[in-house]
Structure 1
Amino acid sequence: MQKILRRVATAERVAAKRQKAKDLRIFKKEKKESLNDHKSQMQMVRSELVAAKNSIRDNWNLGPLAPRKDVGEWAESEGAVVHEARYGTGYRRVSLAMRNRRCAWAGGAYNLNLAVGDRVVLMEGPDEGRIGQIGRINEEKAEVQVNGLNKANIRLQQEIRGQTDAPALNTELPIPISAIRLVHPIKDTQTGVTRDVIINQLVHADFIHDRVTGKKQWSRVVPGLNVSIPWPKEAEEELKDYASDTLRIDVEERTFTPTLLHPPMPESVLDELRNKYSRFRTRHDPEYIERLEAEEQAKKDRQKLMNSMRTPLQELHRAERENKKKKGKPRLTQEMLEKIGEVMAKNLERTRNAGVALPEAPSSSSAPTTSSEIAVPPPPPETTTEETPPPPSS
């Protein structure tokens, strides 16, 4: 038993060592890809920055001789143009530690105390100090997009833009959660004035985890003030009518009335609810019945063809069986019965004579006996039905 336990422990250590080496290789590969991606993005940033500086210098130095911006590759686009490879990518892989650092003020990366619709203020970038509303949250990279802020021109490839579209699209760039702070109106207890306050820390409260559905609920509270910040209300989805939509009047219109002479629903609905060719159905289409009859007839024809193809030996056996069937069961005549009776009587007599002539097995203690000394038991007396007279009385 100890030997088995040692082998199991050794196998577990080897498996753990292999898994650790595999995880290390995957980590190194992802880290290398992330570093290469980051390096390429930094090179793009430097080249774009150099291009922007050269454009400003040309406009300042050349004046009227500066190249026109309304023609060429970046026509009808203003400001710096960002390469599409940089949009929404950032690092290829954001570790859990980095996400937790970015979301430290908002309760951590696991249960983020931010939602779409929250009002936030930017703490970094060209729009520092401006307030906007969160439009999208990327939890995998701990980034958000703020509507109308942190915008830049994204270059559009010629394959994906129309003939009349501009070569660059002005849109919001994602920004890390660490570069924003929540803004919420709070009433001052001393002055009674309600004003927007920048909230630098949020914690969880009243955490509820439903293990059946997997849903989580909690409240976000400002530590120190014990002020609960309500979650933003979800905007109702705006439903639009399309030409292919089914009208309510068509849905409520009665198009079928069940009677005792018809099934409780149209046959087309029965075909949808149950297989059209199911063997459990009691009503089938004529073509389906004809197909089944044709298949059954084909089976019979095939069996008939197989029966017609026999070997000579099979033909002989078949002829013998047919002859036996024609003869029928054999019947015993009176002469046969008398002959059978004679044979049975002879066999019985021979058996009795053999039983009288053969002596019993001699025992070891007694002397052997001869056949003349064997006593034959007398036959039982014949019983009569006549009554014996009673003895005379004295």
Structure 2
Amino acid sequence: MERIIRRSILAKASAARRYAREAQLKIAYKRMKRNQYDAMLREHHRYVNKIKSELVEDVKMGPLAPIRGRDAKDRIARDLPTADAMRLPEVVEPRKFFNIAVGDRVVILNGKDRNKVGLVKEVDPDTDSVKVQGLNVYPIRTPDYFEGLDGGDSPGMDQECSIAYTDVRLVHPIEDPKTGALRDAIVKKIKISNVTKDAQGKRTWTRWVAFSKTEIPWPKKTEPEYQDEQCDTKRMDAEERTYVPTLLKPPIPDGAINELRGKFSKFRDRHDREYIEQKMREDEEEKSRKKARVVTPLMDINRKIRREKIEKGKTQKLTGSILEQLGRTMAQSGTPFMKERPNRLKILAEIERQEQAGFGFRPALGQLPARNLETPPAASQSAPPS
């Protein structure tokens, strides 16, 4: 039974590590896609500017201008990005409160349509962007089967592109304190209150203009009109109550619960009583078999030696004499823990100088005496032992 519990714990830990690695790889992938999109957009802008400069040059040259294409759209369409390429990549951390909805009026802060106000056509919380109707329009390369559908043969068409959430601001009418008339104002900061969550987990909240008591109502949604079809379920059939819960019978049979849990899953940590009793009996039988094994005197001695080594390793501590001996060994051998390796030629030269001076001993290699070697010792001092 212990092996089964250990297997379940190890499997859960391994799955948690795998999910953590996958999350890190997903974040790195999103950042890489964002960098690729920024590089593609810069290249597209450079290409469009190049085509515009060519058009200006053609006007100046007149009939001497080279033939580069039928019109500007045809020239740009030679290297246009697709709609998928112009879509902003997914953000690493989605915004907690997305305060812009379809139908809001916003002003664009950056780009070619800067300071223009438009109606939000589409919102995308995954990429943290919005699309404004009729603004931020760029030519997009269409598939081959699109050519000729609208009477034209150009492979490009104009389409609204996504705008980052941070590049737009809400526009809401606010009463003028002097005249009392309503005028449009750009909402720089939005305050949130009355955050609620329904049974499905969908959050709703109220928008306010920061530092004021002006509420920003959400745009009204038009309910779609549905028509009954023959394949639709009737309302009286859908609302019919076919199950009445009671305390005498469980809502889900035990057999169905066991099937849902996965009887042979390695992540399972809930088992039947019969299965647990069986595994406990197997553990007892394994212990009895181990006890019934023939133990020779040599095996007994080896077990005793191993136990003594384990106990000795647990209780043994580094004493002062052991640390001193380790320090001497490290100093003599010149280990990498020292800041500088001793130069043995200098040490040997120092030993010969000490012998000539009359000290009468040879210090260990790699260790210099602590006293001052420039002046000879006094005659009354005895030579240290060799």
TM-score with structure 1 setting the length: 0.48
Say which one has the larger Rg. Answer: 1
User: Relative contact order, CA 8 A, sep 6+: which one is greater?
Assistant: 2
TM-score with structure 2 setting the length: 0.49
